[in-house]
Amino acid sequence: MAQTQVTVPDLGGIDEVEVIEISVAQGDAVNEEDTILVLESDKATMEVPAPNAGTISDILVKVGDTVSSGTPVVMMDGAGDSSSSVVEASAQETVEEKAEPVIQTQEVAPSNGSGESQEIPVHVPDLGGVDNVEVIELAAKEGEELAAEDSLLVLESDKATMEVPIPQDGKLVSFHVKVGDTVSQGDLVATILASSGAASTENKPTEVPAQAPAPQTVPAKSAASAPIAKEPVTSVTTTSNKGVHAGPAVRKLARELGVPLDQVSSTGPRGRILKEDLQAFVKQRVNNPVAAGPAQVVGSDEDFSRFGPTESVPLNKIKQVTAKNMVQSWSTIPQVTQFDEADITELETYRKGAMQSQLPDGVKVSPLAFIMKACAMALKAFPQFNASLGPQGQTLIQKQYYNIGVAVDTPDGLLVPVVKDADQKGVIELAKGSAELAAKARDKKLPMDAMAGGTFTISSLGGIGGTSFTPIVTAPQVAILGVSKAQMKPVWNGKEFEPRLMLPLSMSYDHRVIDGAEAARFTRYLCELLTDTRNMLL
């Protein structure tokens, strides 16, 4: 079978680059131009694509390795033909031959060598044959003192992002382009004032305009063999940087700081993450670790089809948002669940019997409405349950309104509409209110504000079954009540076992705010209210 040895193409004078991502696994089938791995120098990220379709038979490098032009990186068995780079045995040479230089050797700006400051024009360097590249960021301010290699501006083609650095220490006098302009090789982009003595004393005539050092990344001319820089590059530290729009310098800094770029809000053009965005993110994390941005949902990138057939089903927005909220709440709230059982024998006798004649037409009352009423009362009696932790955990914000969220299972996923001012409503009104909201949630007619402002949540699985579960407290709330299916149980009354209808309650709470004993008292209180509904009248 044809074997291809894929090597690092000509890096145009850059000695070593780091392997920051291996995008394939041994045994993977790849198509021509699929990314095999991603390389990064201090200024550029580039992909090495498959030169042809085939199967990865061996991976010769690992993440973190440094490689140079010609380093073999992957072996492929493959379905190549003569038009691709698949060559039996001597594939390496073929690949190298086809590789286009993508990173040019750095040239240093000329100087008069006299030690005096000198204005030097900076032009767009060789872009490897690509014209009309857009200026997407001015990375320095006019008047700013910069060190050689600091980024002046960032250019972007459809495949590559490249930084144009200042060729030597100096002051940026002026830009000659603005964001949105398109430029080509040789276009004047900036004028700098070289610092005295900073310029090189190369034998170049002083009147020759400076060319900026190498374009940091240039799109490959030959897609089959040359690396292509691409914006979404996964970093070494985390796979969460996939799909993120950021330049090499920002990515490098993010790796050094251990910042997952996909959690950083961008303020740059087209959603590009700037250095300042990274700084703002770090500052926020340092100052307010608890209130940090939404947690990341880490999925698996394992290829399960190796073990059997699979189907990848897209998750809708509700499920994706729920997943993020759950990760956030679960990972930031130290939570404990208190279990108890309420004897609702009398409550159910009343609900199914005498109460029925009291109900307006069309209104159905399930145990949930009684549980909501009992919760509203218990929240008043235990205000720390109707609260949120203040900034840095230094205060407890106790709310004097009682808005109870009710988890509703809909075909699209979990929604939690809120019954406002539950403490001011009777059981029938609560039943009507929650049923209306649940119907709207299932019909996708729930207004956004119907889910806002909850102070406590009930998740009732009682209509389905189960004996108990551990609901997740949803920040910024501090408690959630899980309700399971009531069952007849033999209960010892001191003389004998009596059949009683027992309702299992699972009360999860934020242990930073609520102590175990308080949780036990709260849950017991709820049970007492439900056991003898006359307690609700007191």
**Footprint of ligand CAO on this chain (CB under 6 A)?**
366-368, 406-409, 414, 438, 459-463, 471, 483, 485-486, 503
Q: Closest distance between ligand CAO and the C-beta of residue 407, in Å?
A: 4
- Are 189 and 123 in contact by the 8 Å Cβ rule? The answer is yes
Q: Closest distance between ligand CAO and the C-beta of residue 447, in Å?
A: 17
Q: Closest distance between ligand CAO and the C-beta of residue 417, in Å?
A: 9
* Cα(284)–Cα(264) distance, integer angstroms: 11
- Are 265 and 284 in contact by the 8 Å Cβ rule? The answer is no
User: Residue 86 is encoded by which pair of tokens?
Assistant: 């698949």
Distances (CA, A) of 379 to 288, 360, 453, 456: 28, 28, 15, 8
Among the listed residues 447, 471, 453, 476, the one whose alpha carbon sits nearest the alpha carbon of residue 461: 471
* Cα(468)–Cα(221) distance, integer angstroms: 62
Q: Closest distance between ligand CAO and the C-beta of residue 478, in Å?
A: 16
Specify the residue, 460 or 477, whose C-beta has the smaller distance to ligand CAO. 460
Catalytic, out of 123, 176, 245, 511: 511
Distances (CA, A) of 82 to 2, 88, 111, 484: 11, 11, 50, 67
Q: Closest distance between ligand CAO and the C-beta of residue 455, in Å?
A: 17
Q: Report which residue's Cβ sits closest to ligand CAO.
A: 462
Q: Closest distance between ligand CAO and the C-beta of residue 295, in Å?
A: 17
Distances (CA, A) of 54 to 60, 85, 224, 511: 16, 11, 13, 55
- Provide the terminal-to-terminal Cα distance of the chain, rounded to the nearest Å: 85
Kindly give, in sequence order, each residue whose CB lies less than 8 Å from that of residue 153, ignoring residues fewer than 6 positions away: 135, 137, 138, 139, 140, 163, 164, 175, 177, 189, 190
Specify the residue, 152 or 422, whose C-beta has the smaller distance to ligand CAO. 422
Q: Closest distance between ligand CAO and the C-beta of residue 523, in Å?
A: 15
Task: Check if 176 is active-site.
Answer: no
Kindly give, in sequence order, each residue whose CB lies less than 8 Å from that of residue 496, ignoring residues fewer than 6 positions away: none
Distances (CA, A) of 524 to 264, 500, 531: 44, 17, 10
Specify the residue, 172 or 378, whose C-beta has the smaller distance to ligand CAO. 378
User: Residue 510 is encoded by which pair of tokens?
Assistant: 């934020």
* Cα(96)–Cα(201) distance, integer angstroms: 34
CA 241 to chain centre: 8
CA 103 to chain centre: 31
Specify the residue, 214 or 407, whose C-beta has the smaller distance to ligand CAO. 407
Q: Closest distance between ligand CAO and the C-beta of residue 501, in Å?
A: 8
Among the listed residues 189, 17, 216, the one whose alpha carbon sits nearest the alpha carbon of residue 106: 216
Specify the residue, 138 or 441, whose C-beta has the smaller distance to ligand CAO. 441
Helix (H, G, I), strand (E, B) or coil at 18: strand
Provide the 10 A C-beta neighbour count for residue 317: 9
Specify the residue, 186 or 463, whose C-beta has the smaller distance to ligand CAO. 463
- Residues taking part in catalysis: 511
